[in-house]
Amino acid sequence: MEDVVSTIIRALALGSPLLWAALGEIYAERSGVVNLGVEGMMILGAFLAFAVAQTTGNPALGLVAAAGIGGAAALLHAAMAITLRANQYVSGLALTMLGLGLSAVLGRRWEGLPLLNSLPEISSLTYAGLLLAMALWFILYHTSWGVALRSAGEAPAAADALGVNVSLVRYLAVVFGGAMAGVAGGFLSVAYRPSWTEGMTAGLGWIAIAIAIFAAWDPLRAVAGAFFFGALFHLSFRLQTWVAPEPLQMMPFAFTILALALTTQRGRRRQGAPEALGIPYVRGER
Amino acid sequence: MSRIGPFEITRRAAPPLTWVLGVSVAAIAVALLLVAVIFWSYGVGPVRAFSVITRGTLLSGRALPEIGRNAIPLLLAGVGLVLAFRAQFWNIGAEGQILAGATAATGIALFLPFSMPAPWVLPAMFLAGFVGGALWGLLPTVLRLRLSVNEVITTLMMNYVAIYLVSWLVHGPWKGPEMRGFAFTNSFPPAAVIPVIAGTRVHWPTLAIGLLLAAGSAVLLSRTKLGFEIRVQGENPDAARYAGIDPARTTLLVMLLAGGAAGLAGVGEVAGIHRRLLDPNQISLGFGYAAIIVAWLARGSPLATIVTALFLGVVFAAGDVMRVGLQMPARVTDVVNGLILFCLIGSERLLYYRVRWMPARARPSPAAVGAVGAEGSARGTSGGEA
Amino acid sequence: MSVPPAFLTLRNITKAFPGVVANDRVTLEMHAGEVHALLGENGAGKTTLMNILYGIYQPDAGEILVRGQPSRIRSPRDAIALGIGMVPQHFLLVRRHTVAENVALGLPGAGALFPVRKVSPRISELGERYGLVVDPNAHVWELSVSEQQRVEILKALLRGAQILVLDEPTSVLTPQEARGLFAVLRRMKEEGHAVIFITHKLDEVMEVADRVTVLRRGRVVGTVPIAQADVRTLARMMVGRDVEFRRSKSGLPSEEEALSIADLWARGDRGLVALKGVSFGVRRGEILGIAGVAGNGQRELVEVITGLRPATSGRVRALGRDVTNRSARAVHEAGVAHIPEERVRMGIVVGMSVGENLVLNRYRYPPFSRGPLLDQQAVARFAERMIAEYEIVTPGAHAPARHLSGGNIQRLILAREFSGSPGLIVAAHPTFGLDVSATEQIQTLLLRRGAEGAGVLLVSEDLEEVLALSDRIAVFFEGQVVGIVDAAGADRERIGLMMAGQAA
């Protein structure tokens, strides 16, 4: 019985970074900007959170730093995507490359070090994630910010014509998304694992993006998706006693493809992607 | 038209080639400057670092072929991506397609239930590699065409699936008994090894295939009906529908070619370099992702990929030097690649502006009055009444 | 009593785009309680001027005075703050959001929490005051076009707009709906608003405006009080010469059928039924015009005929062949030419050359192809011939189509579509947004093809054009043919009623 409870707790725990990152991506995409750099922002967050926690002995400070670097990385993407109107897919991929590379280079001297003070209560971030999901849902649907955010992603010209600063809204949403991804990464290195190894996010960032899609860009649905995949990852660790690890590790990624295939088909009529997703907005151009 | 100080900035639709080259070179220079900052923060003097790298790659007779060796998979995967991107299919899965090709070739080299005449083995491996890569790209393509599933995510997921698949093979069923616990397959028999230029790691048959593929793709795009369809489909899907071009057919063909080309790159890596299947991170050092830069830098031209693949080959060769000569992590190539890509796409806007020195006094009067082409008002064009 | 300063003054506004001077020293004055019509053809610079007033574009020269104060309008936000509201021709609404959400967007008084709850009662209140009734909780995509227009007006009024700009507001309305709109405008006038009414329709100017300013080729031709204006003078001011209201048609339709539609049903983009049992025929040598307010199934009809949209039931026969649910390619091969509605979005590929665009749907046949190969020289030869024949203004066959103007894009499309000697021509809005000379050339080409024996299906929102070119007119309403009338001696009022769904 105790075993079952601890299994569920660990599954929920691994679902939390997915939830945080997915919530951030949902906000970015709702504003009209795709950010494929989640993996890069997460790994930067993981690295810096560990480095700061190791140096100061304060893991909470590490998470703040993780949010900061995630937001800074996202700011770079926002500048590319919004101001320079660069291809958002390519910019996101560049961010992922840069994040993975930079964290490996700068993080080398932290590799394998112990963390004396890890976050004691893993579940606190899980609860925080749940509360955040509800808060973000409320903001999205019942506040004037939410209306502005969704309008920027659906019909930026309409928002602009009413005096909404579309660029600003998009910048804020993308940077917020980056900060969320940073915290998600920091959670891995100062709480869940607690240690730093290069490439430790191992594709979680990409799964977070997929969750945003098949949650139909809804914060509350993202909760279910994140914990489902958290459970799947945890299951793949648990079953390694009996089965070779590699097919199990493959499972979440194969499941993502399956989930996308299943939900896209049904979701198309119900609620599709924000209509201006991935399209830069320029006043006076249609 | 706008002004910054004495400079007048005007927009233009088609930048001349020299300007494209100039802006690209400037972007890469800025990227290298940023790389210098990273070196410095890592505790390596940038001047020393760049001199070690230059000596270790461009100025070393022995190391020069390493550029070519790295350029081969980049060229093959890059040409494939040029085709895919021209058709507006965002294939981020070249990495997985490389691994799939490598796996398929290994299957022919080591695990055929019958013996094949020696001269047939390499052609069969290349064929298998092509098919393997093409099949790996097929699932995301079908999902996109049938269910409109975003291919960026699915091709990427297929990379992870391929990584764990290869990893499982070399740790499990295909683990070589001769390898004493290492996660390798057995070494390939001599007939399954691609010949190299003596004294180097340049497996020239793969290189020749890559060059042929680049030339063939250029002809395909400019001189054939299929190429015409690919271009229409990529530039304007609505016009393609209007013209009766079947989007499923073009996308499928393009992705078979793109996946197949990446698969060939995988064959080259296992049969030309490593001579066995091994850990996925050692088979491909991120060639599949770097190929995106190769394709982007080539700006849609298959022939230009020959140059851009060589350039990225330098980056990878430099990565080896940094790892060995400067004791930096292998991932440092990702930093360089990421920065180059950022600077390239960041500079893209610049291409469409012409900056001219024009002090305010020398400015011509704003409007040639009466020269009103009152037609700037088709549906969907900007300007005029739009 | 001293004369108050004009509500709004535009003085010497000039704005140039590459190759086009859209506004050339335009001067305009507006007073409170006035409906001021801005009359001009497509391309005359009306919309550019209003985009400058609303902060979308910045003028190159000139000044704007609001209540006598010089004002710089850098963005729509500035315009709103100055009490300027805009109802654009293509509505700027978030289709997936509700009416209340659209109105609350960016509204200062809406508050941070539950903006919809605060805005809804105000929508109802204003709606009653001005006769703009609309359900605040409905989603925009559920609304009819005229209801969407009401939402745009409400958005402006709720932001305290004193000056309201309406850009071609009646182009999407039936004559009856237009009359409803005019009643709203008069109501606003009584409440002290100033209304700028942009149009190219003379009778509407006469009906609703107090004063009219005529623009031609970016310049003000003159401003006249409506009491001193008549249709013929205004038309001459607008076009620059006397206008022929009727074009002569020649040739008699043959008995041979070019197109026959029988009980055709199809769905629109949102899965709703868009065509409900449409039946009619077009004979060779005949021009059949489709009249109707946009969004009543015309687009779907064209797409079903040309193989771009499946029919759920019914039959389409073109030139003696059954082409129901055949591919676009098969329909083209049957001899059907298609001049698409959105010529830039669908009719050309801007990144490819003029020559390649001229063979966009013929590249696969000889002489342009041999086996799998494309003969670029044959393409170039053909293109040079077409450029000369159709007077396409371009540096040459290898120039990118990106640089073509609207009229030249349409000439290119016509050259391509007519070169195959089609037996049926499906033309959707062939002159929309073109200047006078391009419009005349294209109308002449269509008439000539009709006279030479092709059947022409002409879809246009411009009732004048339909009346001028067609032999018969089929009126569409909500996916059905309300009636088919002979163009000769057709009564516009009757067609207007039919467009509103009243069978004649």
DSSP string, B211-227: HHHHHHHHHHHHHBHHH
Quick one: pLDDT at residue C439? Answer: 83
Average pLDDT over every residue of C293-307: 91
pLDDT-derived band at A122 (thresholds 50, 70, 90) equals: low
| Angle ∠(A214,A220,A223) on CA atoms, nearest 5 | 70
Among B136, B270, B304, CA closest to B194: B270
Q: Shortest Cα distance from B351 to chain C (angstroms)?
A: 16
Quick one: pLDDT at residue B360? Answer: 56
Average pLDDT over every residue of A19-45: 97
Q: What is the pLDDT of residues C17-32, one digit of tens each?
A: 766 788 999 999 988 8
Q: Best mutation site among B230, B363, B377 for testing chain C: the one with the most C CBs within 10 Å?
A: B377
Q: What is the pLDDT of residues A89-107, one digit of tens each?
A: 999 999 999 999 999 999 9
Whether chain C has a CB inside 8 Å of the CB on B364: the answer is no
User: Is B377 a residue whose pLDDT tops 50?
Assistant: no
> Cβ(B377)–Cβ(B386) under 8 Å?
yes
Residues 6+ away with beta carbon under 8 Å from A179: A24, A67, A68, A70, A71, A74
Instruction: Mark residue B43 as left, alpha or beta (left: phi above 0; alpha: psi -120 to 50; beta: remaining).
Output: left
Distance CA C288, CA C295 (A): 19
User: Is A268 a residue whose pLDDT tops 70?
Assistant: no
Q: Best mutation site among B1, B232, B372, B381 for testing chain C: the one with the most C CBs within 10 Å?
A: B372
Distance CA A34, CA A73 (A): 14
Quick one: pLDDT at residue A270? Answer: 43
Under an 8 A CB cutoff, do B385 and C45 touch? Answer: yes
Q: Shortest Cα distance from C21 to chain B (angstroms)?
A: 5
Query: Percentage of chain C surpassing pLDDT 70?
Result: 95
Q: Which of B:195-214 have CB within 8 Å of A? A: none
User: Is B138 a residue whose pLDDT tops 70?
Assistant: yes
Tokens of B5: 């100080």
Quick one: pLDDT at residue C3? Answer: 56
> Cβ(B202)–Cβ(B196) under 8 Å?
yes
Using only the alpha carbons of chain B, give its radius of gyration. Answer: 24
Chains near A with 3+ CB pairs less than 8 A apart are B, C
Query: Percentage of chain C surpassing pLDDT 90?
Result: 51
β-bridge mates for residue C224, sequence order: C212
Average pLDDT over every residue of C251-275: 85
Average pLDDT over every residue of A4-28: 88
Q: Shortest Cα distance from C311 to chain A (angstroms)?
A: 20
User: Is A13 a residue whose pLDDT tops 90?
Assistant: no
**Hey, what amino acid is at B115?**
S
What's the pTM? Answer: 0.89
Q: What is the pLDDT of residues B326-355, one digit of tens each?
A: 888 888 999 999 999 999 998 888 887 777
| Angle ∠(C160,C163,C168) on CA atoms, nearest 5 | 120
Please name the residue of chain A whose CA is at the shortest distance from the CA of residue B286: A97
Quick one: pLDDT at residue B381? Answer: 33
Tokens of C206: 């006469």
Please name the residue of chain C whose CA is at the shortest distance from the CA of residue A276: C94
User: Is A127 a residue whose pLDDT tops 90?
Assistant: no
Residue with more model confidence, B257 or A57: B257
Q: Which of A:179-238 have CB within 8 Å of B? A: 198-199, 203, 206, 209-210, 213
User: Is A284 a residue whose pLDDT tops 70?
Assistant: no
pLDDT-derived band at C47 (thresholds 50, 70, 90) equals: confident
Q: What is the pLDDT of residues C182-195, one digit of tens each?
A: 999 999 999 889 99
Please provide the average confidence, as pLDDT, over all residues in chain B.
87
Q: What is the pLDDT of residues B185-229, one digit of tens each?
A: 999 999 999 999 988 999 999 999 999 999 999 999 999 999 999
Quick one: pLDDT at residue C425? Answer: 96
How crowded is residue C106: how many other Cβ atoms within 10 Å of its Cβ? 24
Residue with more model confidence, A152 or C41: A152
Whether chain C has a CB inside 8 Å of the CB on B360: the answer is no
- Give contacts of B243 with chain C, Cβ < 8 Å: 328-329, 360-361
Under an 8 A CB cutoff, do A206 and B153 touch? Answer: yes
Average pLDDT over every residue of C361-388: 91
Q: Which of A:56-95 have CB within 8 Å of B? A: 76, 79-80, 84-87, 89-91, 93-95
Q: What is the pLDDT of residues C5-15, one digit of tens each?
A: 788 999 999 99
- Give contacts of B381 with chain C, Cβ < 8 Å: 344, 406
β-bridge mates for residue C197, sequence order: C37, C166
Residue with more model confidence, C420 or B237: B237
Residue with more model confidence, B156 or B55: B156
Q: Shortest Cα distance from C352 to chain A (angstroms)?
A: 21
Quick one: pLDDT at residue A11? Answer: 78
Under an 8 A CB cutoff, do B165 and A246 touch? Answer: yes
Quick one: pLDDT at residue C131? Answer: 87
Nearest to C105 among A148, A165, A271 (CB): A148
- C-alpha distances out from residue B373 to A187, C216, C433, C479, Å: 61, 12, 13, 38
Distance CA C274, CA C307 (A): 16
Quick one: pLDDT at residue B365? Answer: 41
By the 10 Å C-beta count (0-12 exposed, 13-18 middle, 19+ buried), B175 is classed as: middle
Quick one: pLDDT at residue B351? Answer: 80
Whether chain A has a CB inside 8 Å of the CB on B88: the answer is no
Under an 8 A CB cutoff, do C43 and B375 touch? Answer: yes
Nearest to B366 among C14, C340, C406 (CB): C14
- Give contacts of B329 with chain A, Cβ < 8 Å: 104-105, 108, 198
Whether chain A has a CB inside 8 Å of the CB on C155: the answer is yes
Quick one: pLDDT at residue B379? Answer: 33
Residue with more model confidence, C218 or B60: C218
User: Is A203 a residue whose pLDDT tops 80?
Assistant: yes
Distance CA C16, CA B385 (A): 12
Whether chain C has a CB inside 8 Å of the CB on B239: the answer is yes
Q: Shortest Cα distance from B217 to chain C (angstroms)?
A: 13
Beta strands C194-199 and C35-39: pairing type?
parallel
- Give contacts of A261 with chain B, Cβ < 8 Å: 143, 147, 149
User: Is B373 a residue whose pLDDT tops 80?
Assistant: no
Whether chain A has a CB inside 8 Å of the CB on B147: the answer is yes
pLDDT-derived band at A286 (thresholds 50, 70, 90) equals: very low
Q: Shortest Cα distance from B235 to chain C (angstroms)?
A: 6
> Cβ(C229)–Cβ(C37) under 8 Å?
no
User: Is C252 a residue whose pLDDT tops 70?
Assistant: no
User: Is B37 a residue whose pLDDT tops 50?
Assistant: yes
Nearest to B367 among C16, C352, C360 (CB): C16
